[in-house]
Amino acid sequence: MRNRVLHSLFIFALVSLPAAWGDTANHAETLDRSRMLPLAAGGKALARIVVPPDGDCGVVRFAAQEMQKLLRQCTGADFGIAPQPGKKAVSIVLGDCKAARKAGIDVRDLPRDAFIIRAAGNTIYIAGRDNRTVDPLQALPGGKWANIFERGTLFGVYDFLERFTGTRFYFPGDLGIITPKQPTLSVPTMDIYEAPDFPQRELGIMTYPLITLKGTQQELFAEQNHYRYMLRLETKYVPCNHGLSRLGLLKRFGESNPEFFALLKNGKRDNDPKLPGRKHLGHLCFSDKGLREVVASDAAAFLSGQPASMTGATNPRYSRGPMWDPSAFQPGYFNISLTDGFGPALFCQDPSCQAFYSKGQAAELIWQFTADIARRLKSAGVPGYLTQAAYTVARPIPKVEI
């Protein structure tokens, strides 16, 4: 798209699923069952887990602990975690390190969230791209935004356990983890490459007392985020919802610039932050040039790395001061999707807007607004993408060039 505008065309996405699902370029497996590598026998460990000093980081340590715990549940054996491989016993070396690179694994060549599982001699290497500054144990209770970081090695560990031990992750919590008991366990010599078919991979998790027994919000976050790790869900979030409402336009300009807001049928602007009887307030006059300048300026500031204090952008629901709400603004992406509740009853009555609304062309006006912001950013040389969800009144394909 010429102006680098991303938008969600859900019909296209659904039609494309069968063709995109299971891209063979993302999945490669070679197994040699003539040469088995023993991990446990009679409930005793025959292998060690290795966190090499030159690959040591929070993600790799967490991956080692997860492998140790789940292998113990499977075999009953206690697998040690060591800094060096053993001389004869099988070693499972985790993370990016010199030994892995010597075995032909260079994580710099891997896409995000991909990993390689490869046996060389009596050593099994599992490595992917990892954020070396984040400790998952600290991130787990922190909500979604604390968990947007790369953890390819951890994903490789979960894949290894599913693939070779039969471990399954059915739902959050210990009750949802199934580890078939096998006190004697060997795995074939392997060479495996896995990369995700989709960069965006997410699910909604409902919390039921009979399944999730933990109580505090932090404990619930930790349990749910842990489950997201196990399912290898997205580590990068592309925002595409609620962006305009996350700029705090009503708080910033409700009094000074009422023309930014929709002219309602009662002759008043939708700029009253205390209007009773309606949850979503501050719907906009999309034809107003001043509003477009403000939104473009906000987008340029964020995409150029400026703090929210430079513009005053905020989400009053979560902050009393300036902030870039991560649900709408992520590095390289700025969302300007509609405020919830927008529809015909709240269409602006200004003649410039009614030139579209009265003809059933709400989508055309909204996408003209979006394209105008994109052109301004492109002309100014601002890097990044705008995102706009094609849903509700913005769903029809517009004529404007985007």
> Could you tell me which CATH class the domain 22-230 is placed in?
alpha beta
Q: Report, in angstroms and rounded to the nearest whole number, the Rg of the chain calculated over CA atoms.
A: 26
Amino acid 7: pLDDT: 36
Amino acid 16: pLDDT: 35
Amino acid 17: pLDDT: 39
The pTM for the full model equals 0.86
Amino acid 278: pLDDT: 73
Amino acid 399: pLDDT: 94
Q: 267 and 256 in contact (C-beta within 8 Å)?
A: no
Q: 270 and 262 in contact (C-beta within 8 Å)?
A: yes
- Span 328-338, pLDDT tens digits: 999 999 999 99
Q: 120 and 35 in contact (C-beta within 8 Å)?
A: no
Q: 77 and 119 in contact (C-beta within 8 Å)?
A: no
Residue spans of the domains in the chain: they are 22-230, 244-394
- DSSP-assigned letters across all residues of 302-330: HHTT--GGGTT---TTT-SS----TTTEE
Amino acid 275: pLDDT: 78
**Whole-number Å distance between alpha carbons of 325 and 314:** 7
Beta strands in 170-239 (DSSP E): 177-178, 185-194
- Span 201-231, pLDDT tens digits: 998 876 555 455 557 878 888 988 999 999 9
Helix (H, G, I), strand (E, B) or coil at 349: coil
Note down pLDDT in tens along the chain; length 402 residues.
444 443 333 323 333 333 344 567 999 999 999 999 999 999 999 999 999 999 999 999 999 999 999 999 999 999 999 999 988 999 999 999 999 999 999 999 999 999 999 999 999 999 999 999 999 999 999 888 999 999 999 999 999 999 999 999 998 888 899 999 999 999 999 999 999 999 999 988 765 554 555 578 788 889 889 999 999 999 999 999 899 999 999 999 999 999 999 999 999 999 998 876 677 889 999 999 999 999 999 999 999 999 999 999 998 877 778 999 999 999 999 999 999 889 999 999 999 999 999 999 999 999 999 999 999 999 999 999 999 999 899 999 999 998
Question: How many CA atoms lie within 13 Å of 369's alpha carbon, on the beta-carbon side?
Answer: 29
With a CB cutoff of 8 Å and minimum separation 6, the contacts of 171 are 211, 227
